[in-house]
Homo-oligomer: A and B are copies of this chain.
Amino acid sequence: MSMKYPLFISILVVCSNFCFAQLHESDKHDSLIIRRFYDAVLTNGRCYQWLDYLSNQIGGRLSGSEQAAKAVQWSKTVMDTLQLDKVYLQEVMVPHWVRGKQEEGKIISKKLGNAEVHICALGNSVGTGKKGITASVIEVKGLQELNALGKEKVQGKIVFYNRPMEPRNINTFVSYSQAVDQRAFGPTEAAKYGAVGVVVRSVSLAHDEHPHTGSLRYDTLFKKLPAVAISTNDADKLSTMLQKDPDLKFYFKTDCQMLGEVLSHNVIGEIRGSMYPDEVIVVGGHLDAWDNGDGAHDDGAGCVHAMEALRLFKVLGIRPKRTIRAVLFMNEENGLRGGLKYAEIASKTPSEKHIAAIESDAGGFTPRGFGFTCENKKILDKLLKYVKLFEPYGLYEFKEGGGGADIGPLKNHFKDIVMIGYIPDSQRYFDYHHTEIDIFSNVNRRELELGAGSIASLLYLLSEYGVE
């Protein structure tokens, strides 16, 4: 478009000036505060520069790695500059899985010719050994189909899970949740039937060459099979070749391994509430990130959202009535130890009551809303009505149901806690998720900043009015 939207633009401007007219008096005050959060982050935000550093200077930071330790120190140092009331590390033991250096995958077919493919080890997987694994392939669309095939058709083979993410869901997280069982539980299910290895179609809606890692969960009653993800394009290729040559073999080699546990940390900073300091509102993301990319969206974005939210309170001189605590959790990706440890310690601190927790772990994209898990319907209604204050910023989706992996364990200890998930636009997330292209240049500054402004604004309302 060039420069000719006069009517369109003038009406938009009028609408944005007059939207206050629809609000009540107390809402007017709140809407002005919220405007200040967004203005501050859009004009002088820090989150984008922080994410640049975390992504480009530290990079992928899987639990137990040197980079994870650096990220802990760096984020504590940043929070130390924010003049918060308290900044500290919380010790937590984490698993230390390493990818190793060898990742090769190949389709071997006398009939069709060989083809190299893009694979990567799944997180927590055992390696193949030096010779790699070469075997026939049995393709299935999921765990149920594998089950129906039984031992006879699976034994000695590589199981190839190839059910794609469903493109028709508008919310891509729904499609993710429907497909990810193949990656998480596929290896152990295959072991039950005597398979020798597992190849999983990357859990992505993109058609490309990037394999997507992510953790698997072994059931220790069964053999730990080496497991890899294959790019979506190569999954299609393997499937097509299997139809033409069912006797083809697949070869892959990895030297990943699980090492011993390592001491790591959650990084915590807080602003103490002026009226109800014992009521705590957590805002967090996870500091660990897969090693193949830089963890810019997953979940560098969530970490800088949380830190930025606290910074905004400080620079605007807004003292929250309740305590707001940013927690950068360690080890969401392959163990959740940070989330479990934080909840355990919180439950043993009788002087504090956790009333709400927000997690940002869905990327640094344009904000669309928040999801709330709240048992009390009256409180839920009150929270959902806050949407009116956010509509001027493009957030319309205040919904029942929400939370996050790291804050999840708090629910076991604080039964009235409100669990909140930040909802950004989901269309691009699974293009980058757990790949080598989850990098800073795929994050847009304004989209990231609007997320921080949205989270800060919701924290303000929660700290101002509580959840009773």
Contacts and interface: CB of A to CB of B under 8 A. Distances in A.
Interface of A: 1-13, 15-16, 38-39, 42-43, 167-174, 176-177, 180, 183-184, 205-207, 214-215, 286, 298-299, 332-334, 336, 361-362, 366, 368, 371, 373, 391-394, 396-397, 399-405, 408, 419, 421, 425, 427-428, 431, 433, 444-447, 450
B450 A427 contact: yes
Contacts of A42: 167-168
Nearest to A362: B1
Stoichiometry, copies per complex: 2
Contacts of A168: 38-39, 42-43
A405 B368 CA distance: 28
A401 B7 contact: yes
Nearest to A373: B7
Nearest to A334: B2
A173 B9 contact: yes
Given A3-B214, A4-B408, A5-B173, 11 more contacts: A2-B215, A2-B405, A4-B336, A7-B401, A8-B401, A8-B402, A9-B174, A9-B401, A16-B174, A366-B427, A431-B444
22 contacts: A3-B177, A3-B180, A5-B173, A5-B177, A5-B405, A7-B419, A8-B173, A8-B401, A11-B402, A12-B174, A12-B401, A15-B400, A15-B401, A38-B170, A43-B168, A207-B445, A394-B397, A394-B425, A425-B425, A427-B446, A428-B446, A428-B447
Given A2-B334, A399-B15, A408-B4, A444 B421 contact: no
A184 B16 CA distance: 25
A400 B444 contact: no
Contacts of A403: 5, 7-8
Contacts of A207: 445
B447 A427 contact: yes
A219 B332 CA distance: 62
Contacts of A15: 399-401
